[in-house]
Structure 1
Amino acid sequence: MPDVELSDDGQIVTLISGSGTRTRFHAIWLRDNAWDPETRSAGNGQRLIALRDIPPDLRIDRARIAGSTLTLDFQPEIKSIDYNVDWLLAHGYDNGPGREAGWLAPGTETWDSGLMSAIPLADFNRATADGGVLRNWLSQLRRYGFGKMTGGPVEREALLKIAALFGYVRETNYGRYFEVRTEVNPTNLAYTGLGLQAHTDNPYRDPVPTVQILYCLENSAEGGENMVVDGFAAALRLKAENPAWFDVLSKYCARFEYAGEKGVCLRARRPMIEVSADGELIGVRFNNRSTAAITDVPFDDMATYYAAYRRFGEIIDDPAMEVTFKLTPGECFLVDNTRVLHARKGYSGAGSRWLQGCYADKDGLLSTLASLETEIQEAAE
């Protein structure tokens, strides 16, 4: 186990590994993240105190390690608190200089057409009956932002059973779910036989739906194959080619709008490539059909912006970036709508093509996955 070092002023605790790696923690952070019964509820893990309850002149006057437990004595509270060393190291924040914009969260894996031979896949009946199968599939969805499910019932609203495996349907102006088939006078181009460029759905919403499910009920028409593209891979390819183009698409907001039906006028203002305050790549919004006039880019940067926008679209359209498949009745696919773009090839009027779609949210998916992973960890212990 590591050794421990306390600064002279009692404000910094340093864990020192056997190899000499030093991981520092501030006294205020340690006190705020205590797990003693007076600080955290044993039932739900929520804090029982606010930051105002911690003395502003807080300090640590003693630190020692015994086995896997670090014990700290806090003043002026006159309070001794135990910490699990492994938990501290897993939550360390002493990471050195900030990272360059465009880094990916741990466990995220980008992909291109090579994923065609290894599409994340699960059988509906097995995933419903076996938590391990469901866990593995959800884990792949988290990693790749995309997955297929086969063997589902060929019946209306079957897609709602898919959503119920991990979360809840997010209702929109399109209803709890929507039909994807040719219509006369359609309110959306998705309801025609036209091919659609790879896009993320509903960029005109804020927040955008974070998971989309498309479920096949009929598919005898010629054509109509589905395609998916990893928006993170496309964004990082753009960055590698021209960092200034990545920067301009992440620096300035595009505008998106939908007013295709009576009583609906949805608008959002977000970057096409979204990074967090510390540079993590967290989202892509790309939908040419719903892009409104872009007015938030300064005049001197507009030409560069459009050059970047054009190239980003070319990368997305590159067949080397896409995974293509044709759904059969009872099959569906899911995408992380903040990351993965989906498309459709055009199809003829002969035969029939009927899909149903709905939206859900990624927090439900990640919550279900975390719960299943915790069950496995607890069983192993």
Structure 2
Amino acid sequence: MQEENFITVNGNRFHYMWLRDNCLCPECRDPNSFQKIYDISEAQSPPKPVSVVEEDDKLTITWQEQPIHQSVFPISWLMAHVHELDTPAESSNKIILWNKADLQKEQTLRHDFHNCDSDVWVNQLFSLGFTILENIQSTKELESLVCSLGPIYETYYGRFIPVKPIKGTEAVDLAYSSVHPLLPHTDFTYLNIGRVLQFLYCVENNASGGESIVVDGYRVARDFRQNHPEYFNTLAETPIHFKQFDLHSQYYLCNINPILKLNQKGEVSEIYFSHKNCKPNLKFDKVESFYEAYKTFFNYLKSPDYQYCSRLKAGDCLVEQNFRILHGRTAYDANYGTRHLEGVFLDWDYCKGRHNFKQFQHFYLEK
């Protein structure tokens, strides 16, 4: 259906300005870089079609220009670009919110790294926010896996971060202590690193205790919002200081974010929560209301109903979205057995971008 400024295709509206700007012909889009050449600032406002024809699964528009110009759009391409404000991967992969009971119904949460199609565990990563890979032979093999997706995100800890008990002043984080349980948290809240993917690789684990815990922050946030809307708004609107004083490396690091960060749709997109690093800097009259919200949310995270516990064995790797999944562990006695993990990080954009490429390359490469 044609209107003055737009056309409707399969029930979806496409503005002529947008269509002209996104013409796929080699005169308007470079065939090598797939980047736009056409300068939309020179277009009529709005561009006017001479004719619009939909046939053979294609939309062909002839534009009223000098000289006459023609744009051809596959209908499948148009349908993939209905929601231009959404990134393709996030709109095409269903996010599944879960609690402990939900995961107990899942048939497979672990995948043999050498005998599993990578699409299987990557799809689980997108839907559940985490996956567990088994039988990774070494940190070198893990490094090859991570680098196949993108460059390792290196922090001041180095490329790989050893997670094992450390005595003395070098134990700059509770993760290096075994006496106390490590409560659910997201990593590096005190650094401005954005969305990252974390790989926690088990080198050795024969200690008593030390089970790994993961929590779906999106599910907790949804339930928290439904049951405590005022508390939810408090955590979404209050900027919080997260700090790390590192005596060994001589850094005093601080980053500021709300605990619940919302996207343009008002949905929780990122969670920044680490009680051990949380240093609220609040006005006096805001302290009481903030801590009521904070304590309530914290108790949700600590509830066994939301926690999935799993014991990592040597060769296992917990892969998680650090902006959605909170992780922790139970206490263990380092005097009886060894628990040694290695952590490595990857910018989420690279994982998402590789996934997008596989899904949408045909829109760019088909002739």
TM-score, normalising length from structure 2?
0.88
1:375: Cα distance to partner?
Answer: 7.6
Deviates more, 1:212-221 or 1:254-263: 254-263
Matched, 1:5 2:2: yes
Please give the root-mean-square deviation of Cα atoms over the aligned residues, in Å: 2.7
Matched, 1:180 2:174: no
Q: How many angstroms apart in 2 are the aligned matches of 1:244 and 1:196?
A: 28
Contact 1:120 1:141 in 2 (8 A): no
Contact 1:202 1:209 in 2 (8 A): no
Contact 1:6 1:63 in 2 (8 A): no
Pick aligned residue for 1:365 from 351, 362, 366:
351
AA in 1 matched with 2:3:
L
Pick aligned residue for 1:315 from 300, 303, 308:
300
Alignment of 1:336-347 (within 5 A): 336-347=321-332
Q: Secondary structure of 2:121's match?
A: helix
CA offsets, 1:55-80, max 9 Å, x none?
44533343221221112222345322
Partner of 1:286: 273
Q: Secondary structure of 1:143's match?
A: helix
Alignment of 1:147-186 (within 5 A): 147-153=131-137, 155-185=138-168, 186=171
Q: How many angstroms apart in 2 are the aligned matches of 1:373 and 1:12?
A: 28
1:164: Cα distance to partner?
Answer: 3.0
Pick aligned residue for 1:145 from 117, 129, 153:
129
Q: How many angstroms apart in 2 are the aligned matches of 1:113 and 1:44?
A: 45
Partner of 2:17: 28
Matched, 1:84 2:74: yes
Q: How many angstroms apart in 1 are the aligned matches of 2:243 and 2:40?
A: 41
Partner of 1:356: 342
Q: Secondary structure of 1:206's match?
A: coil
1:303: Cα distance to partner?
Answer: 3.2
Contact 1:109 1:143 in 2 (8 A): yes
Residues 219 and 196 of structure 1, relative CA distance in 2, 3 Å threshold? same
TM-score, normalising length from structure 1?
0.85
1:347: Cα distance to partner?
Answer: 0.3
Q: Secondary structure of 1:363's match?
A: helix
Contact 1:6 1:12 in 2 (8 A): yes
AA in 2 matched with 1:304:
S
Residues 117 and 302 of structure 1, relative CA distance in 2, 3 Å threshold? same
Deviates more, 1:278-287 or 1:103-112: 103-112
Alignment of 1:1-381 (within 5 A): 4-7=1-4, 11-15=5-9, 17=10, 22-77=11-66, 78-93=68-83, 106-114=93-101, 115-116=103-104, 118=106, 119-127=108-116, 133-153=117-137, 155-185=138-168, 186-193=171-178, 194-208=180-194, 210-261=196-247, 262-295=249-282, 301-348=286-333, 349-373=335-359
1:306: Cα distance to partner?
Answer: 2.2
Q: How many angstroms apart in 2 are the aligned matches of 1:117 and 1:329?
A: 25
Gapped regions of structure 2 (runs ≥ 5): none
